[in-house]
Chain A
Amino acid sequence: GQNIDQPTEMTATEGAIVQINCTYQTSGFNGLFWYQQHAGEAPTFLSYNVLDGLEEKGRFSSFLSRSKGYSYLLLKELQMKDSASYLCAVRDSNYQLIWGAGTKLIIKP
C-alpha cells in the first residue's frame, strides 16, 4: 500500500526554527509537494521537490532524499502566522497525489 507519515503535532517558539519530517512509501515517485493549511481554510502550495537536495524559498526550505523516501520542511524565523497544518504529498506513478494527514504546528510567543 501507499503511505505518507508525518508527525501529528509539533510546537515551536516564535523566532525559532522547526523541521517537519515526512517519510513516504508509494508506488512510483514523480515529485513531492508541501502545502500549508490554516484552520478552516484551503491548502496552499509551498514547495516542490523532484530531485535530491534542498530547495530554498525565503524563510521556508524543503529537502528531499529519494533513496531514503524522506523529506523535510524547514521553517526559519517562525512567526505567529505560521501556525497551521503542513501537508506532505507525493505524486505517484499514476501522477496522482497521495497526501499525508498533515502536521499541526503550534507557535508559542
Chain B
Amino acid sequence: NAGVTQTPKFRVLKTGQSMTLLCAQDMNHEYMYWYRQDPGMGLRLIHYSVGEGTTAKGEVPDGYNVSRLKKQNFLLGLESAAPSQTSVYFCATSSGGDVETQYFGPGTRLLVL
C-alpha cells in the first residue's frame, strides 16, 4: 500500500502560471485535506473534503481551488501563482471518528518566482 502520495514533489513556477497538485490515497478514507506549511507558522488548512464530490474552504482558501471527483484523489489548483504561494504543500487524509488521526503525504515544495 502506497498510503498517501503527492505529485509533483517539487516545482518552480513563474508568477501568473497555473498548476495542479495531485493527492492520491489508497486508504479508503473519506476525509482529505490540503495544508500549506511556512517557516515559523503552523500548518494552515487551505481546503478540505468530507467525501467524494464535496469540498469546503479552510483557513486560507484564497488563490486556490480544489476538486474531489473520485474518492481516492484530491486536486489542488493554483490558477495564477503568486510569490506568496511559495510554500510546502501537504495533503492529508483521515477516516473520521473521535481520534481521527491524519495521515500525511510526503509534501510538494513549490517555489513561485
Question: Interface on A for B, CB 8 Å cutoff?
Answer: 4, 8, 31, 33, 41-45, 48, 50, 87, 89, 91, 95-102
The residue of chain B having its C-beta at the shortest distance from the C-beta of A101 within the complex is B42
B40 and A101 within 8 A (CB): yes
B111 shortest CB reach to chain A, Å: 15
Least Cβ–Cβ distance between A29 and chain B, in angstroms: 13
Q: A48-B99, A48-B101, A101-B40 are in contact. Are A96 and B45 (CB under 8 A)?
A: yes
* Interface core residue of A50, A95, A99, A102 (most chain B CB under 10 Å): A99
State whether B106 touches A42 (Cβ < 8 A): yes
Chain B residues with CB under 8 Å of chain A are 40-45, 58-59, 90, 98-107
Among A42, A44, A48, chain B packs the most CB atoms within 10 A around the CB of: A42
Q: B42 contacts A4, CB within 8 Å?
A: yes
Query: Closest residue to B50 on the A side, CB-wise?
Result: A95
Quick check: A102 and B102 within 8 Å, CB to CB? no
Across-interface contacts of B101 in A (CB, < 8 A): 33, 45, 48
Residue contact B102 to A50, C-beta cutoff 8 Å: no
Task: List the 8 shortest-distance A-B pairs measured between CB atoms, nearest first.
Answer: A99-B42, A42-B104, A99-B43, A45-B101, A101-B42, A48-B99, A100-B42, A43-B104
